[in-house]
Amino acid sequence: MKDFAGKIAVITGGGTGMGRELARQLTAEGCSVAMCDVSASNMAATKTLCEADAPQGVRVTTHLADVSDLGQIKRFAAEAAAAQATDHVHLLFNNAGIGGGGSFVAGDVENWEKTFNVCWGGVYHCTRAFLPLLKAANEAHIINTSSVNGFWASIGPGIPHTAYAAAKFAVKGFTEALITDLAVNAPHIHCSVVMPGHIGTEIITN
Protein backbone atom coordinates (compact mmCIF):
# COMPACT_ATOMS: atom_id res chain seq x y z
CA MET A 1 0.00 0.00 0.00
CA LYS A 2 1.70 3.17 -1.20
CA ASP A 3 -0.36 5.80 0.59
CA PHE A 4 -3.27 6.13 3.02
CA ALA A 5 -5.23 9.00 1.47
CA GLY A 6 -8.80 7.95 0.77
CA LYS A 7 -8.40 4.65 2.61
CA ILE A 8 -10.49 3.37 5.54
CA ALA A 9 -8.79 1.89 8.61
CA VAL A 10 -10.14 -0.01 11.61
CA ILE A 11 -8.20 0.32 14.86
CA THR A 12 -8.88 -1.60 18.06
CA GLY A 13 -7.85 -0.01 21.33
CA GLY A 14 -8.00 3.43 19.74
CA GLY A 15 -8.63 5.31 22.97
CA THR A 16 -5.05 5.47 24.24
CA GLY A 17 -1.44 4.59 23.55
CA MET A 18 -0.41 3.08 20.25
CA GLY A 19 -4.00 3.00 19.00
CA ARG A 20 -4.41 6.72 19.52
CA GLU A 21 -1.13 7.50 17.77
CA LEU A 22 -2.04 5.24 14.85
CA ALA A 23 -5.35 7.07 14.50
CA ARG A 24 -3.65 10.47 14.61
CA GLN A 25 -1.05 9.60 11.99
CA LEU A 26 -3.49 7.88 9.64
CA THR A 27 -6.09 10.64 9.72
CA ALA A 28 -3.40 13.27 9.18
CA GLU A 29 -2.59 11.47 5.93
CA GLY A 30 -6.22 11.48 4.77
CA CYS A 31 -7.28 8.04 5.98
CA SER A 32 -10.70 7.66 7.60
CA VAL A 33 -10.70 5.69 10.86
CA ALA A 34 -13.24 3.57 12.73
CA MET A 35 -11.94 2.79 16.19
CA CYS A 36 -13.20 0.72 19.10
CA ASP A 37 -12.33 0.81 22.77
CA VAL A 38 -13.98 0.10 26.11
CA SER A 39 -13.74 3.78 27.10
CA ALA A 40 -15.98 6.30 25.33
CA SER A 41 -14.19 9.25 26.95
CA ASN A 42 -10.77 8.08 25.78
CA MET A 43 -12.05 7.63 22.24
CA ALA A 44 -13.63 11.08 22.32
CA ALA A 45 -10.22 12.54 23.21
CA THR A 46 -8.58 10.62 20.36
CA LYS A 47 -11.26 11.81 17.93
CA THR A 48 -10.71 15.44 18.91
CA LEU A 49 -6.96 15.10 18.35
CA CYS A 50 -7.49 13.43 14.98
CA GLU A 51 -10.00 15.95 13.70
CA ALA A 52 -7.67 18.84 14.55
CA ASP A 53 -5.17 17.70 11.90
CA ALA A 54 -7.27 15.69 9.44
CA PRO A 55 -7.97 16.92 5.91
CA GLN A 56 -11.55 17.73 4.99
CA GLY A 57 -13.66 14.67 4.24
CA VAL A 58 -11.87 12.31 6.63
CA ARG A 59 -14.31 10.42 8.88
CA VAL A 60 -13.44 9.47 12.45
CA THR A 61 -15.99 7.22 14.12
CA THR A 62 -15.93 5.72 17.62
CA HIS A 63 -17.52 2.46 18.74
CA LEU A 64 -17.74 0.94 22.22
CA ALA A 65 -16.68 -2.70 22.08
CA ASP A 66 -14.73 -5.25 24.10
CA VAL A 67 -12.55 -7.18 21.66
CA SER A 68 -12.74 -10.32 23.81
CA ASP A 69 -16.49 -10.56 23.10
CA LEU A 70 -17.27 -11.87 19.60
CA GLY A 71 -20.84 -10.55 19.71
CA GLN A 72 -19.63 -7.04 20.45
CA ILE A 73 -17.07 -7.25 17.66
CA LYS A 74 -19.64 -8.40 15.12
CA ARG A 75 -21.72 -5.39 16.15
CA PHE A 76 -18.66 -3.15 15.85
CA ALA A 77 -18.04 -4.35 12.29
CA ALA A 78 -21.62 -3.63 11.26
CA GLU A 79 -21.67 -0.24 13.00
CA ALA A 80 -18.32 0.77 11.53
CA ALA A 81 -19.40 -0.06 7.99
CA ALA A 82 -22.60 1.94 8.45
CA ALA A 83 -20.89 4.92 10.10
CA GLN A 84 -18.20 5.02 7.42
CA ALA A 85 -20.82 4.48 4.67
CA THR A 86 -18.73 1.69 3.16
CA ASP A 87 -18.88 -1.93 2.09
CA HIS A 88 -15.13 -2.40 2.46
CA VAL A 89 -12.12 -1.45 4.60
CA HIS A 90 -8.47 -1.30 3.61
CA LEU A 91 -6.65 -1.62 6.92
CA LEU A 92 -7.26 -3.57 10.12
CA PHE A 93 -5.00 -2.77 13.09
CA ASN A 94 -5.51 -5.45 15.76
CA ASN A 95 -3.90 -3.32 18.43
CA ALA A 96 -5.96 -3.65 21.64
CA GLY A 97 -4.23 -5.21 24.61
CA ILE A 98 -4.10 -5.31 28.39
CA GLY A 99 -1.62 -6.54 30.98
CA GLY A 100 -2.29 -9.02 33.75
CA GLY A 101 -2.69 -12.74 34.32
CA GLY A 102 0.92 -13.17 35.34
CA SER A 103 0.79 -16.51 37.11
CA PHE A 104 -1.04 -19.53 35.74
CA VAL A 105 -0.25 -21.46 38.93
CA ALA A 106 -1.00 -18.97 41.68
CA GLY A 107 -3.01 -16.27 39.93
CA ASP A 108 -6.70 -15.56 39.51
CA VAL A 109 -8.35 -17.60 36.72
CA GLU A 110 -10.67 -14.80 35.59
CA ASN A 111 -7.81 -12.30 35.36
CA TRP A 112 -5.68 -14.78 33.40
CA GLU A 113 -8.46 -15.55 30.93
CA LYS A 114 -9.39 -11.89 30.51
CA THR A 115 -5.83 -10.98 29.54
CA PHE A 116 -5.52 -13.91 27.15
CA ASN A 117 -8.95 -13.30 25.62
CA VAL A 118 -8.25 -9.61 24.96
CA CYS A 119 -4.69 -10.00 23.69
CA TRP A 120 -5.27 -13.10 21.56
CA GLY A 121 -9.06 -13.40 21.25
CA GLY A 122 -9.33 -9.81 20.10
CA VAL A 123 -7.05 -10.50 17.15
CA TYR A 124 -9.00 -13.60 16.21
CA HIS A 125 -12.46 -12.05 16.63
CA CYS A 126 -11.65 -8.88 14.72
CA THR A 127 -9.94 -10.70 11.87
CA ARG A 128 -12.96 -12.97 11.54
CA ALA A 129 -15.48 -10.12 11.74
CA PHE A 130 -13.73 -7.75 9.34
CA LEU A 131 -12.49 -10.30 6.80
CA PRO A 132 -15.52 -9.85 4.49
CA LEU A 133 -14.94 -6.07 4.42
CA LEU A 134 -11.23 -6.57 3.76
CA LYS A 135 -11.98 -9.02 0.96
CA ALA A 136 -14.31 -6.45 -0.62
CA ALA A 137 -11.51 -3.87 -0.94
CA ASN A 138 -9.23 -3.71 -3.98
CA GLU A 139 -6.22 -3.90 -1.63
CA ALA A 140 -6.03 -4.50 2.09
CA HIS A 141 -3.64 -5.13 4.96
CA ILE A 142 -4.00 -6.68 8.42
CA ILE A 143 -1.54 -5.50 11.08
CA ASN A 144 -1.44 -7.57 14.27
CA THR A 145 0.34 -6.26 17.36
CA SER A 146 2.29 -8.96 19.18
CA SER A 147 5.15 -8.03 21.52
CA VAL A 148 8.76 -8.72 22.30
CA ASN A 149 7.12 -11.15 24.75
CA GLY A 150 6.02 -13.10 21.68
CA PHE A 151 9.73 -13.91 21.30
CA TRP A 152 10.66 -14.23 24.99
CA ALA A 153 8.04 -15.33 27.50
CA SER A 154 9.57 -13.34 30.34
CA ILE A 155 9.78 -9.84 31.76
CA GLY A 156 12.59 -10.79 34.11
CA PRO A 157 13.84 -13.61 36.34
CA GLY A 158 11.35 -14.84 38.89
CA ILE A 159 8.40 -12.89 37.47
CA PRO A 160 5.51 -15.01 36.07
CA HIS A 161 4.13 -13.59 32.82
CA THR A 162 2.09 -16.40 31.36
CA ALA A 163 -1.20 -15.02 29.98
CA TYR A 164 0.26 -12.06 28.09
CA ALA A 165 3.21 -14.04 26.74
CA ALA A 166 1.03 -16.96 25.62
CA ALA A 167 -1.33 -14.57 23.85
CA LYS A 168 1.48 -12.72 22.09
CA PHE A 169 3.08 -15.99 20.93
CA ALA A 170 -0.34 -16.93 19.52
CA VAL A 171 -0.62 -13.61 17.67
CA LYS A 172 2.83 -14.08 16.11
CA GLY A 173 2.15 -17.67 15.02
CA PHE A 174 -1.32 -16.88 13.70
CA THR A 175 -0.03 -13.97 11.64
CA GLU A 176 2.80 -15.97 10.12
CA ALA A 177 0.38 -18.75 9.17
CA LEU A 178 -2.20 -16.25 7.90
CA ILE A 179 0.31 -14.77 5.46
CA THR A 180 0.31 -18.07 3.56
CA ASP A 181 -3.46 -18.54 3.90
CA LEU A 182 -4.14 -15.09 2.43
CA ALA A 183 -1.62 -15.59 -0.37
CA VAL A 184 -3.56 -18.70 -1.44
CA ASN A 185 -7.15 -17.57 -0.81
CA ALA A 186 -7.18 -13.75 -0.85
CA PRO A 187 -3.94 -12.54 -2.43
CA HIS A 188 -4.93 -8.87 -2.44
CA ILE A 189 -4.87 -8.91 1.39
CA HIS A 190 -1.48 -8.74 3.07
CA CYS A 191 -0.66 -9.33 6.71
CA SER A 192 2.08 -8.18 9.09
CA VAL A 193 2.96 -8.76 12.73
CA VAL A 194 4.49 -6.01 14.88
CA MET A 195 6.72 -6.99 17.81
CA PRO A 196 7.24 -3.85 19.93
CA GLY A 197 9.35 -3.68 23.04
CA HIS A 198 8.49 -1.42 25.97
CA ILE A 199 6.49 1.65 24.95
CA GLY A 200 5.26 4.17 27.51
CA THR A 201 1.52 3.59 27.10
CA GLU A 202 -1.31 3.06 29.58
CA ILE A 203 -1.38 -0.75 29.13
CA ILE A 204 -0.50 -1.49 32.76
CA THR A 205 -3.22 0.85 34.01
CA ASN A 206 -5.68 -0.56 31.50
Catalytic residue numbers read 164
Check: CB of residue 99 under 8 Å from CB of residue 201.
Answer: no
Q: How far apart, in Å, are the Cα atoms of 88 and each of 44, 75, 154, 180?
A: 24, 15, 39, 22
- How many Cα atoms within 13 Å fall on the side-chain side of residue 181? 11
Instruction: List, in sequence order, every beta strand (DSSP E) within the chain.
Output: 8-12, 32-37, 60-64, 91-94, 140-145, 189-194
| CA–CA distances in Å: residue 170 to residues 33, 131, 150, 192 | 26, 19, 8, 14
